[in-house]
Structures are given as structure tokens and as C-alpha cells.
Amino acid sequence: MSQDLFQSPDYYNIDDLLSEEHQMVRGAARDWVKREVSPIIEEAAQKAEFPTSIISGLAEIGAFGPYIPEAYGGAGLDQISYGLIMQEIERGDSGVRSTASVQSSLVMFPIFAYGTEKQKQKFLPKLAAGEMMGAFGLTEPDHGSNPGGMITNFKDKGDHYLLNGAKMWISNAPFCDVAVVWAKNEEGRIHGLLVERGMEGFSTPETHNKWSLRASATGELIFDNVKVPKENLLPRKSGLGAPLSCLDSARYGIAWGAIGAAMDCYDTALRYAKQRIQFGKPIAAFQLQQKKLAEMITEITKAQLLALRLGQLKNEGKATTAQISMAKRNNVEMAIKIAREARQILGGMGITGDYSIMRHMMNLESVITYEGTHDIHLLITGMDITGIAAFK
């Protein structure tokens, strides 16, 4: 990739609404992405490899458990700082943000919120430091949007649980040390289990041939009569609401993350449009290109305000699932549309790996699908405003 010349758009002086701490946290993440992610990410994506060399850096900028208390190794930050970190990381690459989202919101959060003190002490500090990596197993081959139908199950065998089933499309699976796995007990009630690498019958084959999120490792979690110690059950919440509450936190992070991808596409396209000469003028001088750029900055600004207000509500403990759905859905769609328009501004150059836009565009095809598809989030809003669930 060419040199990272990113300059963050802030059309409505939204920085004025951020605290010094927010700006410091964001600055550290931004600098780190410029230094450590931008130079290597295109090659990692081309090779379809997750760059494990960046794990310790992610830990250092507080990307693993930003809002988990410092007593457990987290950064003890507020929700806006968490969002800003996700924004900056996804400005580099959605796949890298995925790794951080899963580690923080889908692995550390359920252990912190629903685990025993012993589980918290054993796992959280190592996950925060990147010495352990985690995965979250909810989706199954036949149960994606409808996780409540899952068939992965465990039986009580007296001194342990016996776990059987399979999870699919799991970020971080190929290299995870621990997986938070959602499975049904003999009564059909959903519980979270901590399945550790090395347990007999537990395997994590990698999923290949992805055109999207290529710098993130995706795989399966397969459980073939895995003996899980009883102390590995998360005891403090059960039912589908337990995994769905973790999704609230990850979806919130994505609402911010998508802004990062959009800002990178906009910034790249604006710079290119000012430099690229056709018909004796920079293409930025043509009305059609100005329309694209003006609409991009308008949509980015609206998304920034939505995310910031949602962050304030989250800080106050007032953000609802439906509000989070609206922001995830809106901001990811905004980013994917901007990526497509920005790619056109670059003409043929837009399809190359010399620029980040095509990679963002392909990544966002996963982001619009995972953590609840675009359709599911619309139905969540629909249910919220009408009181009628239209899923089934």
C-alpha cells in the first residue's frame, strides 16, 4: 500500500465534544495503526493471513477489554473511548477490528459479566495482554440469524459436561486459546461454556477461500465428545439473552468501526480527486465527483453524531438493543456505499491494492452480515417501533 497519509475528517467539529482522554486514546490508536497496521495489512490480506505480529500492539493501545476494569487487566475506559479505538482500528482494516471486537466484547465481556471470580482471574488478565486469544461460538451451519435453534449441546456426566456439536464462521477460531461456546443443556436451556485448546475432541479448522475479511482468521469450532470441566460453565446468566447481550456490546463497537473504514475511503478519494488530472483539470473540479465527495462527508458526519450520542447513552447505561441495531445498520451501510463510490473516484487504480478502498469494500460485505445481518437489524427496529416481531 502507498504511504498512509490519512487525515481525519471532522466537518462538524465533533472533536470539541470529546474529552482530553478520548482524544488521547484515539490519538494513540491512530498513531499505532499508521505505524504498525497500514504498512503490512495489504500484504496480509493478499496472503489471507491474520498478522499475529500485531497482537501485542493491540493489547498496548487498550484494544483488548477497553472498558473492562483495570483490576482484571482491562483499560478501564468509557464507552466512547472504546468506540474511538474501534474506529481507528477499522480505519486500518475491519478484520483487525474483528479480532479486537471478539476478544473484548464477545470473550472478555461474558467472562467478566457472567463468570466466577476464579474464571475472571484465570482468563481476563491474559486476554487483556494478548497472551491468550479468544473466540465466540454462537453461529452454527444451520443456525445463523436464528441462533435460538442451535443444536450444539452438553450433558451432565457428574464430574464434567460432555459437549457435542459444531460452530461455523467463527472469527479467531484457528488460533484461539479459549472459546466462549453457547450450547443447550438437557432441558434445552442455553449456557456459555469456556472450551480451552487442548481439550480432547476440540478442533478448529480454518475456513479458506474468503474474498472478504482476508486478514482475519475465520474457522469452525468442532466438539466431538469434549469433556468440559464443570468449573468452565459461566454460571451467572443463561438463555438466549446471554449471548445476545454480548452482541449488543460488539455491535456498538462496529457502529464506530464502520466510520473508520468510511473515513479512510473518503480521505483517500478526496486526495486522489484533487491530484488526478483529466481533461486538463483535477477530477475534483467536476460536479459529478464533487457530488460523490459532498454526499460522503455528509453521511460520515451523520454517522459520527449517531455513534457519539449512542456512546453517551451507553455511558449512562441507557442504550437499548434497538438503538444499537439502528447505529450498526446505518453506519455499516453508510460505509459500504462510501467504499463503492470512493472506488469509482479512483477509476482503475481503485481496484488495486495500492489503495485501501477495495479491501475496505470487500471487508464491509462481512461486516454488513455478521453481528446480525442488515435485514435482522431492520426487523429489530421494526419490532421496537410496532411492538410486533416479524422474524418468524
Binding site for ligand TGC (CB under 6 A): 98, 101-102, 136, 138-139, 145, 147-148, 171, 239-241, 244-245, 247-248, 250, 321, 370-372, 376, 380, 391
Q: Which is nearer to ligand TGC, 112 or 272 (CB)?
A: 112
C-alpha 45/C-alpha 251 separation (Å) is 23
In the residue annotation, 117 being an active-site residue is answered as no
Q: Where are the alpha helices (DSSP H) in the chain?
A: 20-32, 38-47, 55-60, 79-92, 94-101, 109-114, 117-129, 241-275, 287-315, 321-345, 357-367, 374-386
- Selection from ligand TGC, ligand FAD, none that 137 binds (CB < 5 to 8 A by kind) is ligand FAD
Q: Which is nearer to ligand FAD, 81 or 171 (CB)?
A: 171
374-386 and 321-345 helices cross at what angle (nearest 10)? Answer: 140
- The overall longest dimension of the chain from CA atoms, in Å, is 80
Residue 107 CB, shortest distance to ligand FAD, in Å, is 10
- Selection from ligand FAD, ligand TGC, none that 248 binds (CB < 5 to 8 A by kind) is ligand TGC
Q: Which is nearer to ligand FAD, 38 or 152 (CB)?
A: 152
The secondary element (H helix, E strand) that includes residue 195 is strand 190-196
- Selection from ligand FAD, ligand TGC, none that 231 binds (CB < 5 to 8 A by kind) is none
| Annotated catalytic residue within 90, 140, 341, 371 | 371
C-alpha 73/C-alpha 124 separation (Å) is 7
Residue 157-176 contact track with ligand FAD, rule CB under 6 A, x = bound: ------------xxx-----
Q: Which is nearer to ligand FAD, 102 or 338 (CB)?
A: 102
C-alpha 115/C-alpha 144 separation (Å) is 25
Eight-class DSSP state of 147: G
Q: Pick the closest to residue 140 from 186, 184, 199 (CA basis).
A: 184
Residues within the interface to ligand FAD (CB under 6 A):
102, 136-139, 144-145, 169-171, 213, 218, 366, 369-371, 373, 375-376, 379, 391
Catalytic amino acids?
371
